[in-house]
Chain A
Amino acid sequence: MVSRAVPIPGAALSRGLAIGYLSIVALIPLAAVVSKSFENGIDSFWNAVTSPQAVASLKLTLGASLVVVLINVAFGTLIAWVLVRDEFPGKSVVNSLIDLPFALPTIVAGLTLLAFYGPDSPVGINVAFTRTAVVMALLFVTLPFVVRAVQPVLLELDREMEQAAESLGASRATVFRRIILPNLTPAILAGAGLAFARAVGEFGSLVLITGNIPFKTQAASVFIFSMVESDNPVAASAVSVVLLVIALAVLLVFGYFSKRALRHEE
């Protein structure tokens, strides 16, 4: 019954424990959300997600997440490049600080941005309660994804290919476009997928700096929160299901690219 390769006693017991724990902590609660969203039938689900305020919040979340992902792709790749190919004093400190947005509580991230880009900004830039604030908060919390996805691939990248191309007369721009970028693309897309999934669900960093003005700066997560607060769990659940489906779809695509990236390495 107990295979020798399985070091924990009782394969079935451990499997049951793992599945049971996961179900109690995450799966059953999520099932409750899906069930609640359809509680009054598919029509009421549809009405909830197509109410003007819900649509506006979903549009803002998707639009801002898309902008944020595009900026992350450009700057994340650039930062990874500088951290791998460049040498400067303090590089290792900068490298460790990249993960700060992962370690910092999101509410603190929001307060941090508000301190510098809010009404009391020491440099006079005030983006508080605007859509720019939504984008900046999402940029802050998603910063590490593309950098950390691209960095290892760039480290492993064989420089002989680049040297060969250069010796054959390719310009640096051509080398980047034809040699480096194709090698980085799977990693960039993988990081972009994670960043998008994170941005779509982000809440804490938006609370203080965006003002949560319906139809203007209210993201979908904040809309869900306000529906919970105003005692409308069906609408909250319906929009939650939409967010969940979007995030899962994006992560599925991400999984596909990360698998492709792995195959590439082999």
Chain B
Amino acid sequence: MRSKYALRFVALAYLALLLGVPVVLVFVNAFQDGIGAAWDAVTTPEAQHAFWLTFVMVAVAVPLNTIFGVVAALVIVRQRFRGRALLNAAIDLPFAVSPVVVGLSLLLVYGTRDGWVGNWFAEQGIRIIFSTPGMILATMFVSLPFVVRETIPVLREIGTEQEQAAATLGAGPFQTFFRITLPAIRWGVAYGVVLTTARALGEFGAVSIVSGKLSGQTETATLLVESEFRRFNETGAYAASVVLCVLALVTLLAMNLIKPKEART
């Protein structure tokens, strides 16, 4: 029985030293000059703009990836065509790609100097790199697989009997999807949306490359953490980190609320 306590101690000590204590310290550091200083640090115009920009990333990338995710999951589970296994594997590619490579890849397509189509967009007066569209594309890239991955197993699980019954009773494809399929897979999709949101909120490397890091213009919340730290404004860096930490904890809470419901369906 002593070995039981030894194992528990070692496991918890490892988690505390790697995860628990350092995260708590971020909160301590953020509030070392008082709550007022921390509040001031995250409400400067640059900080407000950074959080707004992060919100825009999430607000565009997450719905697009969700629609893609559900459609792609339906295609992979319900259709039979050549290259289906390839498509299924290709969707996981963003998990294997370094964020830096994601950023570089977008530069090489949309950059005005090196990019394949960058000049064409520039002639139309559309700026993609060092601007919001490029940052949104980067966010979409890195958070692409989550909804597909979470939806596929649920879709396999529910089968097609209810859908066929609805179709037999005269329901159109849209009606069948919105009244039968979507309600049945909603918790799986929701779980995927939470993961997508967390990833979109936190993306750093890919966005860092395509943003050009213009303070107050193309700086997201994660880029703000870096730039504040480099400017030796530690309170600013830690305070912005606390906001992101809290969002991460909310994500964990959402995951814990959704997971059991997903398991039940």
Partners in one complex: yes
Q: Which residues of A contact B (CB under 8 A)?
A: 2-9, 11, 14-15, 17-19, 21-22, 25-30, 32-33, 35-36, 75, 78-79, 81-83, 86, 88, 94, 96-108, 111-113, 115-117, 122, 136, 139-140, 143, 172, 194, 197-198, 200-204, 207-208, 220-222, 224-225, 228, 233, 236-237, 240, 243-244, 247-248, 251
By a CB distance below 8 angstroms, the chain B residues around A29 are 102, 105-106, 108-109, 141
Fill in one digit per residue for B10-34: 1 if any A CB lies within 8 Å of its CB, else 0.
1110110011111101100100000
Residues of A near B94 (CB, < 8 A) are 26
Give the CA-CA distance A15 to B68 in the complex, in Å. 10
- A21: nearest chain-B partner, CB-CB: B68
A-B contact pairs, 27 of them (CB 8 A): A4-B167, A14-B79, A17-B68, A21-B72, A30-B101, A32-B108, A33-B105, A75-B14, A82-B11, A97-B15, A100-B23, A100-B248, A103-B251, A104-B23, A105-B204, A106-B205, A108-B202, A108-B222, A108-B244, A112-B241, A115-B29, A115-B238, A172-B3, A201-B96, A203-B98, A222-B100, A228-B107
In the A-B complex, list the 3 residue pairs whose CB atoms are closest, starting with the nearest: A201-B98, A105-B202, A29-B105
Complex CA gap A70/B234 in Å reads 34
Say yes or no: A224-B101 contact (C-beta < 8 A), given A14-B75, A111-B229. Answer: yes
Kindly report which residue of chain B lies nearest to residue A194, judged by CB atoms: B95
Whether, in the assembled complex, B92 has its beta carbon less than 8 Å from a beta carbon of chain A, the answer is yes
**B126 adjacent to chain A (CB < 8 Å):** no
Q: Report how many A-B pairs have Cβ atoms within 8 Å.
A: 270
Q: A111-B229, A143-B19 are in contact. Are A11 and B202 (CB under 8 A)?
A: no
Q: Is the CB of A14 within 8 A of B71?
A: yes
Q: Does B226 contact A (CB under 8 A)?
A: yes
User: With contacts A14-B71, A78-B11, A94-B15 known, is A108 near B96, CB below 8 A?
Assistant: no
Output the nearest chain B residue to A78 by Cβ-Cβ distance. Answer: B11
Q: Which of A6, A19, A202, A221 has the most CB of B within 10 A?
A: A6
CB distance from B36 to the nearest CB of A (A): 21
Asked if A18 and B108 sit within 8 Å, CB to CB, the answer is no
Q: Tell me if B79 and A208 are in contact (CB < 8 A).
A: no
Q: Which of A30, A140, A207 contacts B97 (CB 8 A)?
A: A30
**B163 contacts A106, C-beta separation under 8 Å:** no
Given the contacts A6-B173, A86-B7, A200-B98, A251 and B92 also touching, CB distance less than 8 Å: yes
Which residues of B from 146 to 194 have beta carbons under 8 Å from A? 160, 163-164, 167, 172-174, 176-177, 180-181
Confirm or deny: B59 has a beta carbon within 8 angstroms of a beta carbon on chain A: no
- Nearest-neighbor residue (CB-CB) of B237 within chain A: A111
Is A136's CB under 8 angstroms from B144's CB?
Answer: no
Q: Give the residues in chain A near B180, CB-CB below 8 Å.
A: 7
A197 to B96, CA, bound (A): 6
Q: Which B residues fall within an 8 A CB radius of A? A: 3-4, 7-8, 10-12, 14-15, 18-23, 25-26, 29, 64, 68, 71-72, 74-75, 78-79, 81, 87, 90-109, 114-116, 137, 140-141, 144, 160, 163-164, 167, 172-174, 176-177, 180-181, 195, 198, 201-205, 208-209, 221-223, 225-226, 229, 237-238, 241, 244-245, 248-249, 251-253, 255-256
> Is B23 touching A18 in the complex (CB atoms < 8 A)?
no
Complex interface: chain B residues within 8 A of A7 (CB) = 74, 78, 163, 173, 176-177, 180-181
Are B19 and A140 within 8 A (Cβ)?
yes
Residue of A nearest to B161 (CB): A5
Given contacts A8-B74, A104-B244, A122-B25, is CB(A221)–CB(B252) below 8 Å? no
CA distance A112 to B251 in the complex (A): 18
Contacting residues, chain B, for A228 (C-beta < 8 A): 100, 103-104, 107, 209
The interface residues of chain B lying within 8 Å CB-to-CB of A25 are 137, 140-141, 144
Within the complex, the shortest CB–CB distance from A266 to chain B, in Å, comes to 14
Query: Contacts A82-B11, A96-B252, A100-B23 hold; do A18 and B71 have CB atoms under 8 A apart?
Result: yes
Residues of A within 8 A of B108 (CB): 29, 32-33, 35-36, 233, 237
Q: Which of A6, A18, A104, A139 contacts B245 (CB 8 A)?
A: A104
Instruction: Report whether B22 and A112 are in contact in the complex, using a CB–CB cutoff of 8 Å.
Output: yes
Q: For B195, give the chain A residue with the smallest CB separation.
A: A102
What is the bound-complex CA distance between A5 and B202, given in angstroms?
38
Q: Tell me the minimal C-beta distance from B248 to chain A in angstroms.
A: 4
A217 CB to nearest B CB, Å: 16
B75 near A15 with CB under 8 A, answer yes
| Residues of chain A with a CB closer than 8 A to B245's CB | 104, 108
Q: Judging by beta carbons under 8 Å apart, are A94 and B12 in contact?
A: yes
Q: A100-B19, A115-B29, A201-B97 are in contact. Are A79 and B14 (CB under 8 A)?
A: yes
